């Protein structure tokens, strides 16, 4: 922290040398932005909002979270979920994500059950 001589602290006007010394002390103690890393150059939208800062302050006030007993691992035991195709299919989520990205499938013009049945009858 820079050491500054103030008029109120001194009780009289500052000399030119004292004013110069104040500026030198401020300049010598400034924070160099290059030492802050990339966060100093990040767009303002990347910074926490006031509400997020308040939430972080609240969480900080709770103390050491590592001793809180939070869940650190889990083994699925729900028989409905373990019987599902999601549980038994390895790495199928990327296909699901791709299909979701295509949008509303109801408007895609896929064949209906009636059309499939008619085709099956026609083909014998």
Quote the DSSP letter at residue 3: -
Residue pLDDT, tens place only, 72-120 = 887 777 777 767 766 666 656 777 788 888 888 777 777 777 777 788 8
| Closest of 107, 109, 85 to residue 95, by C-alpha | 85
Q: What is the mean pLDDT of the chain?
A: 75
pLDDT of residue 68 exceeding 70: yes
Ordered by start, the domain boundaries in the chain are 79-123
Q: How far is CA 106 from the centre of its chain?
A: 34
**How far, in Å, CA of 13 to CA of 109, rounded?**
85
**How far, in Å, CA of 87 to CA of 96, rounded?**
13
pLDDT of amino acid 46: 58
pLDDT of residue 66 exceeding 70: yes
Residue pLDDT, tens place only, 22-32 = 788 777 776 65
């Amino acid at each position: 922290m820079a050491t500054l001589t103030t008029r109120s602290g001194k009780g009289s006007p500052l000399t030119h040398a004292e004013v110069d010394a104040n500026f030198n002390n401020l300049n010598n103690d400034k924070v160099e932005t290059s030492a802050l890393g990339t966060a100093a150059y990040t767009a303002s939208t990347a910074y926490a909002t006031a509400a997020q800062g308040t939430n972080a302050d609240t969480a900080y006030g709770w103390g050491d979270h590592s001793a809180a007993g939070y869940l650190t691992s889990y083994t699925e035991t729900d028989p409905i979920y373990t019987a599902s195709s999601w549980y038994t299919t390895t790495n199928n989520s990327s296909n699901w994500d791709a299909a979701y990205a295509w949008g509303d499938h109801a408007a895609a013009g896929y064949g209906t059950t009636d059309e499939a049945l008619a085709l099956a009858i026609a083909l014998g």
